Structure 1
């Protein structure tokens, strides 16, 4: 097995929304805001090469939305999935599987693109299977009013229409599963959105955890620092507390999807609770 970080593009989000009830005077210490109250965000995906299987975890926003849509998110930087894949000698057609932590637009938008004459949509990875889970798929395709703006039909429904949609095999009420379809474990969490999937990957004698929106940035480590986007914030508190304690105790390496300035972190137990221990770039840790 070999892993590669894939940078799909940077953007910005409102800092208040990203930190919920936490005062700006506190969260700006780790995530400084610009004059519009926006903070830097990444859409950092992960490529897993395992024999003949080449799996991409999440796909970022993509580029098919309108100029008005992207105007809300202030894209910045030069990153793209195509450039990142090319850096490691791959292209989109090499991808065999796309694994989605969840189906919000900033995690799934890059999986579907316009067709050639822009009359409809098609998979952006023509040789890949798309992976979700039944419970989250139902949640995303029958969205509540709070999340409807994040579950865009043009990002989701073409997967099913293409015949490439597959669901991870999961027993009812199972919190953690060793995914038989992939060589990694999956933690299911429900605070941010229903049945978000958090991959745990054994790699070079380390446990690397793809954090998705359970821990968006290093600035979200303190327990009360919960996104305003979370549908069940009190449940996020419980899930976060349990996970962060385990991560600190067992020395997990946390791969941050949304932190534009920190790729991988470790945690430690302190008198004030779990806190940041060390930060790493992917290359200095694994190369």
Structure 2
């Protein structure tokens, strides 16, 4: 097995929304805001090369939305999915599986392309199976009013219409061992219903793809919960359980949204779980 980080493109989000009730004077120390109160955000995916399978975890924002849409998110940098795949010697047609942690547009937007000649939406990975779960799919396709703006129909329904959609089971205990794709999956519900958090065994370490359970190192303290979360008190509970487990088992956390830190480890302190070390993916695993 080989793993590669895939940088799909950077953007910005409102710092207050990213940290909920935490005052700016505190979160601005770890995630400094620009004059518009926006903070740097990555859309970092993970590529798993395992035998004859090439599995991509999340796909970023994509590029099919309007200039007006992207104008809200202040795109920056020159990274994109195709460029990053190419840097590792791959093409999107090589992808056999796309695992979507959840269906918010910044995690699945790159899954679907707009074919302007035909005027239709079609899968960006024509040879891949797309993986979600039935509970989250139901949640996303019949969205509540709070999340409706994050679940874009053009990102979701074309996956099903393509015939390339598959579902992973949701066990009663919320932890799927040795899933179809060769790694374990933790289900969490505070941010959105049945978000999937992959746990991957790699080079003697457990690497956890954090998605929106822990967006950046600045979100490690328990009360630092995003305003986007639909059930913030549940996020608080899920974070505590996970962070304690991560310290006990020396997990390495791959941060999807931290534009400046790829991987981190944690330690227990008198103030609770806190950051231990940060690493680039390359220095840790190459």
Runs of 4+ aligned residues of structure 1 deviating over 4 Å after TM superposition are: none
- Higher mean displacement: 114-123 or 206-215: 114-123
Structure 1 residue 116 displacement after superposition? 4.4
Report what 1:124 is aligned to. Answer: 124
Does the CA-based 8 Å contact 1:169-1:179 persist in structure 2? no
CA displacement, residues 40-67 of structure 1 (integer Å, 9 cap, x when unaligned): 0000000000000100000000000000
Q: Distance in 2 between matches of 1:180 and 1:102?
A: 16
Report what 1:211 is aligned to: 210
User: Is 2:101 the partner of 1:101?
Assistant: yes
For 1:17 and 1:262, the matched residues in 2 are separated by: 20
> Which consecutive unaligned segments of at least 5 residues does structure 2 have?
none
Contact 1:168–1:179 under 8 Å retained in 2: no
SS of 1:159's equivalent in the other structure is: helix
Structure 2 partner of 1:161:
161
| 1:181-220 mapped onto 2 (5 Å cutoff) | 181-220=180-219
Deviation at 1:115, TM superposition (A): 1.4
Distance in structure 2 (CA, Å) of the matches to 1:81 and 1:72: 20
CA RMSD of aligned residues (A): 0.7
Q: Which residue of 1 aligns with 2:18?
A: 18
2:50 is matched with which residue?
50
Question: Structure 1: where are the runs of 5+ without partners?
Answer: none
Q: Is the 8 A contact 2:183 2:198 kept in 1?
A: yes
CA displacement at 1:118 relative to structure 2? 5.0
Residues 124-168 of structure 1: CA deviation (Å, up to 9, x unaligned)? 000000000000000000000000000000000000000001001
Is the contact between residue 131 and residue 168 of structure 2 (CA under 8 Å) also seen in structure 1?
A: yes
Describe the SS at the equivalent of 1:39.
Answer: strand
TM-score of the superposed pair, with normalisation by structure 2: 0.99
Tell me the distance in 2 between the aligned counterparts of 1:134 and 1:180: 15
TM-score, normalised to structure 1, is 0.99
Aligned pairs, number: 286
Instruction: Give secondary structure in 2 for the equivalent of 1:9.
Output: coil
CA distance in 2, matches of 1:112, 1:179: 28
Corresponding residue SS for 1:5: strand
